Amino acid sequence: MINEKIILGIDPGTTIMGYGLIHVHGKKFELINMGVLHLSKLKSHELKLKKIFDRTLQLIEEYKPDELAVEAPFFGKNVQSMLKLGRAQGVAMSAALHRDIPIFEYSPKKIKMSITGSGNASKEQVASMLKSLMNIKEIPKHLDATDGLAAALCHQLSKGKFIFIKNLFWLEIIYYR
């Protein structure tokens, strides 16, 4: 029996949320979609959280992922920023829980390490490696999209050896005004 599943990866944020979806078929996987959700025009934090929940649920309903991989908030100098990121992560996780989808959390260092071999890689290095590994034609303007994809791929790579296959994809950018 061939293991087949879809993984949704999310890079939570209250200004931009990135996401990526991969389809796993045995030891092969391919890109389904990646994109970003722009939230900067929304005034209240609560409205941003609602949009994150709604978009995550929309992705779940459209692509029917079997698992969610999410980047964990990292501790920075600003405690308020970390609190907001934690809330953004929490509502994305709540959408997955609402549909009984298992959730897996990875630190930014773990995700970078699994994609580039270095836990200190830059967003640009992660995007460049994903472009090469998954035959992405053009790196998106907002690297939050590739960060979401990296979370999904990190989750799958943590399970064993795989083969990358070429696939066409589209990039979605959603703005809320």
Q: Quick check: is 30 catalytic? A: no
CA distance 87 to 124: 26
Out of 30, 67, 144, 147, the active site residue is 144
Cβ contacts of 108-113, under 8 Å, gap ≥ 24: 108/71, 108/72, 108/74, 110/154, 111/71, 111/147, 111/150, 111/151, 111/154, 112/150
- Which of these is catalytic: 66, 71, 100, 147? 71
> Considering 11, 30, 67, 147, which one is annotated as catalytic?
11
Active site residue 144: yes
**Residue 61 catalytic?**
no
Task: Cite the active site residues.
Answer: 11, 71, 144
